[in-house]
Structure 1
Amino acid sequence: MENINEIIAGVENPPTTFEEYLTCYADKVGALVNEYIPRGTHPDMDRYLYAPLFDYSQNGGKRHRPLICFAACQAVGGDMARATSAAAAIEHFHTAALIHDDIADEAELRRGEPCLHLTEGLGLAINMGDLALSLVNGTVMNDANLDDATKVRVVTELINMTRRTIEGQALDIGWARDGRYDITPEDYLVMATHKTAHYSGAVPLAIGAIIGGGTDAQVEALRNYGLDTGLAFQIQDDLLNLVGSEESTKKDFRNDLTEGKRTLVVVHALQNSPDRDRLIEILSSKEKDPAVLAEAVAIMEASGSVDYARAYAENLTSIAKNRLIDMVEPSPSRDLLVSMADWFVNRLK
């Protein structure tokens, strides 16, 4: 199996934008991180555990988390190959989060395919999510290329990341369970920062910089950049689910409304729309009728909530880019990370 340095070196025309970076390396990096999924000592362990998890992870999306971990490592002058186990750990955490999230949400599709709990059954899907979680810290601790002090720093980051994500998920699920419609935009930002921004932005970048030997200032600059852009990523993801297309989301279009998700668009509309009662009625009904879901979107557009969320994400990324440019030395890797912010907010344009 090629290592990340060989993968990068094997590309004749290196990508100059973040979108090109993902397109160029996603498949090979996906294969690289999936090398860390073990095999069972009994054939039925593979049948009921390892093989379905491997297949699920192969349908792995754009792999932006491991790729930004590698970019951060290189941006501070480090050897990307040393970051491979950590990049894989974060990606497997993402897999675990998706499996468990789809169970909690009673979702049907993930990346255009039936969810794991529907194809393999609830019990086995929970078990596979648990296995993916076990790969997070173990992958790093078993890496002979990392010294003990670095392992402790990285695993501490991963432990804190896991707790914060679970905290955010608790808010997200709890608000839906209790029919909470008093949630403010400020509440949403706390939830989304914990649930998504740490593990989708801040921690991959911070860990990449730690392994790359970055200074404390560089590590924190990249962490803060990841927090801001990770939050913008979640806001844009929510927007894509409402006003994108089924092709762009590769999951149930507008299923956030069916599940009653308290997104930034929704909570803003709940505070500002004259049709608040009708919106609550739709959000409470597990509605799947496309016409009714379109009505909910129209209510949110009329209240300015879609524009509000889009502007919030764009402002976050604009400020974050300027801070990163001030704190990290110029390099192609830094340019890719700056481009990441633009990609996050341009996915609807």
Structure 2
Amino acid sequence: METINDIIGDIPSAFTFDDFLSAYARRVGDLVNVYIPRGAHPDMDRYLYDPLKDFSKNGGKRHRPLICFAACKAVGGDMALATSAAAAIEHFHTAALIHDDIADEGELRRGKPCMHLTEGVGLAINVGDLALSTVNGTVVDDPALSDATKVRVISELIAMTRRTIEGQALDIGWARDGRYDVTPEDYLAMATHKTAHYSGATPLAVGAIIGGGTDEQVEALRTYGLATGLAFQIQDDLLNLIGMEESTKKDFRNDITEGKRTLVVVHALANGSEAQRARLVEILSARTKDAAQLSEAVDIMEAVGSIEYARGYAQQLTDDAKAQLVAALDPSPARDVLLSMADWFVTRLR
């Protein structure tokens, strides 16, 4: 089996984060998919393992396992030791997406119909559960890691899982209960829990732990991941509203249809006129898919300045985070890639 050191080796000094993803995403996807097991009965593969592998093969940028490897290398560690943990985080991401699509009644994921539409809700839930079950087991079964490292990494993965579920509960609950009293501070708490821990903080912290980083380096990378992971979610919310390519890859503007309390929405509700707020609440409550009404909601957010506010907030997060990481890590191509990640998170187009 190809190892991560075969795939990456030495990171070229001129690499940006986009270069890093483009060069290694496909092969890293193949590597983490090796950790998806097979069933003891052929129908287990048909109804469980094959749908999981097919979903994971249609992967995204693989940024979570890749930043786990980069953090390991940035503190001077052996990336091969981080392979099981990187795979575990990627499979957690898969589980979260499958379950999230069911909760949101999504239609498209990565340009294909959502699993609950092709396999049915029951089987999709079960596949998501399987992906969750592989998270800790993948690390436990790794003979290359010491018991002490396994315990520390699994503790990180358990905390990541709980925080993500907490954030999802807020996101779903606010929409279900028609809550329009949500503040920007409430949104930031939700997004930090739902996305920032597993999309930034935990992959970086775990990579540094396995790489033998100091406590100071681990915490610096965790803090960096929280800030950039939050910026990632804000940009994701913006792309759902105004992205160009997003309409062909995901349910464009379905955050409005689902009544999501994004940073853009809560800012508009807090700062718009009484008429703007009333109309925005009306559209958010209607669960409409009408393109004209969705566009009207975006126009209101534009007029209030909420889209620019969210852009500026994400940019400030990443600017501050980059300055802190420069102070915490010695210069290296791996550190440069991680610094470039912050810019990619707020400028990506898909």
Q: SS at the partner of 2:8?
A: helix
Q: SS at the partner of 2:286?
A: coil
Q: Is the 8 A contact 2:13 2:333 kept in 1?
A: no
Which amino acid in 2 is paired with 1:212? G
Q: Is the 8 A contact 1:202 1:222 kept in 2?
A: yes
Q: Is the 8 A contact 1:15 1:24 kept in 2?
A: no
Residue 345 of structure 1 and its aligned partner are, at CA, apart by: 1.2
Q: Is the 8 A contact 2:160 2:198 kept in 1?
A: yes
The runs of 5 or more residues in structure 1 that have no matched partner are none
CA deviation digits over 1:56-109, x for unaligned, max 9? Answer: 011110000000000000000000000000000000000000000010001111
Residue 9 of structure 1 and its aligned partner are, at CA, apart by: 3.3
Which amino acid in 2 is paired with 1:4? I
Query: How far, CA to CA, are the matches of 2:155 and 2:72 in structure 1?
Result: 18
Which amino acid in 1 is paired with 2:331? P
Which amino acid in 2 is paired with 1:297? V
Aligned to 2:4: 4
Q: Is 1:96 the counterpart of 2:80 in the alignment?
A: no
Query: How far, CA to CA, are the matches of 1:312 and 1:262 in structure 2?
Result: 16
Residue 273 of structure 1 and its aligned partner are, at CA, apart by: 1.2
Q: Is 1:134 the counterpart of 2:137 in the alignment?
A: no
Query: How far, CA to CA, are the matches of 2:20 and 2:248 in structure 1?
Result: 20
Query: How far, CA to CA, are the matches of 2:281 and 2:188 in structure 1?
Result: 20
Q: Is the 8 A contact 2:65 2:86 kept in 1?
A: yes
Q: Judge which range, 249-258 or 225-234, deviates more.
A: 249-258
Residue 10 of structure 1 and its aligned partner are, at CA, apart by: 9.1
Overall identity of the aligned pairs, in % = 76
Query: How far, CA to CA, are the matches of 1:286 and 1:245 in structure 2?
Result: 22
Q: Is the 8 A contact 1:33 1:84 kept in 2?
A: yes
Aligned to 1:328: 329
Query: How far, CA to CA, are the matches of 2:27 and 2:315 in structure 1?
Result: 30
Residue 15 of structure 1 and its aligned partner are, at CA, apart by: 5.9
Q: Is the 8 A contact 2:264 2:307 kept in 1?
A: yes
Residue 149 of structure 1 and its aligned partner are, at CA, apart by: 0.1
The runs of 5 or more residues in structure 2 that have no matched partner are none
CA deviation digits over 1:262-282, x for unaligned, max 9? Answer: 000000001111200100111
Residue 14 of structure 1 and its aligned partner are, at CA, apart by: 6.8
Aligned to 1:185: 184
Residue 246 of structure 1 and its aligned partner are, at CA, apart by: 3.8
Q: Is the 8 A contact 1:102 1:115 kept in 2?
A: yes
Residue 291 of structure 1 and its aligned partner are, at CA, apart by: 1.2
Q: Is the 8 A contact 1:188 1:264 kept in 2?
A: yes
Q: SS at the partner of 2:131?
A: helix
Query: How far, CA to CA, are the matches of 2:187 and 2:227 in structure 1?
Result: 14
Q: Is the 8 A contact 1:29 1:67 kept in 2?
A: yes
Query: How far, CA to CA, are the matches of 2:131 and 2:255 in structure 1?
Result: 25
Q: Is 1:200 the counterpart of 2:210 in the alignment?
A: no
Q: Is 1:117 the counterpart of 2:113 in the alignment?
A: no
Which amino acid in 2 is paired with 1:334? R
Q: Is the 8 A contact 2:14 2:333 kept in 1?
A: no
CA deviation digits over 1:293-334, x for unaligned, max 9? Answer: 010000000000000000000000000000000011110000
Which amino acid in 2 is paired with 1:320? A
CA deviation digits over 1:207-232, x for unaligned, max 9? Answer: 00000000000000000000000000
Query: How far, CA to CA, are the matches of 1:199 and 1:181 in structure 2?
Result: 27
Which amino acid in 2 is paired with 1:330? P
Query: How far, CA to CA, are the matches of 1:315 and 1:66 in structure 2?
Result: 25
Query: How far, CA to CA, are the matches of 2:334 and 2:249 in structure 1?
Result: 29
Q: How does 1:200-279 map to 2 (within 5 A)?
A: 200-247=199-246, 250-274=249-273, 275-279=276-280
Moved over 3 A (4+): 246-249
